[in-house]
Amino acid sequence: MSPETYTRAAVAATAADACFRLRAARFAPGDFVRISRYCEPSRTVGDIPAQARTGPKLSICVRETIGDTARTNDSRPRGGYPIRFDSLDSTRATRSFVFSNPLGEVTAWSLDEVLPALHRLASEVEHGAYAAGFISYEAAPAFDSALAVQTPNPRIPLLFFGLYGVRQEVEPPGERPPIDADYVLGPPGATLTKPAYTYNVRRILDLIAAGDTYQVNLTFRLRGTFRGSPEALYADLVQAQRAAFCAYIPVGRHLLLSASPELFFCLSDRRLELRPMKGTRPRGRWAREDEALAEELATSPKEQAENLMIVDLLRNDMGRLTEFGSVRVPAMFEVERYPTVLQLTSSITGTLRNGVGIAEMLGALFPSGSVTGAPKIRTSQIIEKLEDSPRGPYTGAIGFFGPDEAVFSVAIRTLVLDLDAGRYELGVGSGITADSNPAAEYEECLKKGAFLHHRLPAFDLLESLRLDAPGGYWLIEDHLERLSRSATYFEIPLNIEHVREILREEATRLQPGHYKVRLLVDPEGIARAESEPNMIREEPLRLTLARHPVDERNPLLFHKTTHREVYRRALEGCAGADDVMLYNRRGELTESTTANLVLRIGGRLLTPPMESGLLPGILRGKLLEDGTIEERVLTPSDLLRAEEIHLVNSVRGWRRAVLEEARSADPSGHDAPKL
């Protein structure tokens, strides 16, 4: 048998024809094959079942052989999904598809196998097949031997692609598969400590000062345990991240789950596009905070310089592939929003020269400059010396290509599961430039890994309005404005005229009276309304302090939704009180479970600021606007010295309250504020 070790595939009308084609490809009787039609783990070319000779087409996949040792490259999925891709980014065309009618697998385990494997893939694609899979970062020297990388992980191939006859559009994965939907991800442990990372960053800063490099993308790994359903984990990642380039790729004992937002390159009708991503900020907790952080990111000289360096590098890379003068940069420094971070992106386009194939494209572009730095070759050498482990598929490329198109993402936010060992690995990193702060860069890396455990619960947006029939809704425009801001924040499509019509219909069906109307908008933007009589409790309301704090970092505190778990927990064990006063982890008062807080202290009416972690109530906003109340950080001790305690909201107005008792213990493990 030929010593070439990448997998070959043959599709034949009969078993006899399959044997002929395999032998023509220099496979001899005794070489191992897998016959998909009969679900056999292995056969020899000379031992294909006789009954298959008149049967349907067979998919023959040859096991890899190195010398006299057979090494199986069996990538059959262990769960419910084959290779699939999902795009749920609302700013792009959303679509999901799986690849079916498998024709074979092409795998490269060593550098000298990478280019032959790509040429084999290109040949199959020319005949109508689709190729879908990934290229590991450590494959880089196959395209340019000057690029330096760590010794690859021997359990994960440098290149893996399945060949398929059909690409089938499907529905995106639901929020949870109905069967075997549980999984547990253990807490991540970093392979690089903060002091070690800081030391490496300082070495990079010295190299930048010496002129060796301008920017280095320094990475490390987060590792932990995994058990349960990988399909459920993937479904959660897709729904939580709603990224443009989600992928589920089984390869032997490993499974790649990616929720990458970054386009590596896209080819359609000879139009080539790259969209590098450089520059990060955490998401704000409410719309205005989010907008302020986005503006800061878009105008930051540091982030712009970092982004521009990568754009210049990629323009040069693209120029090796495209027609002279066709390279353009149609968009610079655009901010894209994701559930946990804001990212700064730019777009580069060009017209591909005739005759340029996938191997040539990857030869010019791989790996993306956004995951190495600039200049690419020298910086790769610095990375190889400083990083503590191979990156594997992380920062490589994941995607597919067919006869007239190709789409690849940069493999960031990509989880590698080892199903046999019950472990996961997640790479994280950031771009180090001359003005980088080591502590801030380390925190940025950890924030990038936070998506793994970021699961917003299912909820509807909610507005509670006061209706005085047959009059109208009180402060309706303010309610609709708040609703619109939350819809924008959570990327929920909202038709305000549809909402107004729902409210009008609800008002016309009610008898004269005073009502509380609940307006609900689901994640698809469908609105509905329900109402109940507006009941006013006797005053003063009995108020008690919560047993445990709220987390002021939780964005749901700043938006009115049907997810009220925080408020439900606060009310538990407080049956004797009418309402419960909440406070954050810093011991600052926030709000009650139903209303905003106003204290009269020294003759002034004071309310906690939004930054403490609270819903921006409609009536509270009006009172701030006209100067009736003012913001100030308040603590539980202020409840004792307040001349008056009021709870305010737009449905029931001002209500007087009294503090009934003080809590001295916190069952959650936090010390409750002392009164």
- Distance CA(487)–CA(610), nearest Å, equals 19
User: Which residues, other chains included, contact 508 with Cβ-Cβ below 8 Å and sequence gap of 6+?
Assistant: none
Contacts within 8 Å (CB) and 24+ apart, 305-308: 305/433, 306/215, 306/278, 306/279, 306/431, 306/433, 307/276, 307/278, 307/279, 307/332, 307/333, 307/344, 307/345, 307/346, 308/332, 308/346
**Residues 135, 28: contact at Cβ < 8 Å?**
no
Helix (H, G, I), strand (E, B) or coil at 285: coil
Helix (H, G, I), strand (E, B) or coil at 421: coil
**Residues 117, 163: contact at Cβ < 8 Å?**
no
The radius of gyration of the chain's CA atoms, rounded to the nearest angstrom, is: 30
Of 128, 129, 183, 131, which Cα lies nearest the Cα of 161? 131
Return the axis-axis angle of helices 301-319 and 358-365, rounded to nearest 10°: 140
DSSP string over 11-76: EESSHHHHHHHHHHTT--BTBEEEEGGGT-S-EEGGG--GGGGGSS-EEEEEPEEETTEEE-----
Contacts within 8 Å (CB) and 24+ apart, 663-666: 663/544, 663/545, 663/546, 663/547, 665/547, 666/547, 666/548, 666/549
- Distance CA(117)–CA(164), nearest Å, equals 16
What are residue 532's DSSP bridge partners?
Answer: 516
Please identify which of the residues 64, 113, 278, 588 carries the catalytic annotation.
278
Going from the C-alpha of 82 to that of each of 101, 129, 162, 243, 550, the distances in angstroms are 11, 16, 10, 19, 42
DSSP string over 308-356: HHHHHHHHHHHHTTB-TT--EEEEEEEEEE-SSEEEEEEEEEEEBPTT-
What are residue 456's DSSP bridge partners?
Answer: none
What are residue 61's DSSP bridge partners?
Answer: 9, 34
DSSP string over 126-177: HTT-EEEEEE-GGGGGGT-TT---PPPPTTS-SEEEEEEEEEEE-PPP-SS-
Please identify which of the residues 113, 124, 231, 262 carries the catalytic annotation.
262
| Separation of CA 126 from chain center | 33
Look up 572 and say whether it is catalytic. Answer: no
Of the chain, the end-to-end C-alpha distance in Å amounts to: 82
Look up 262 and say whether it is catalytic. Answer: yes
Query: Which residues are catalytically annotated?
Result: 262, 278
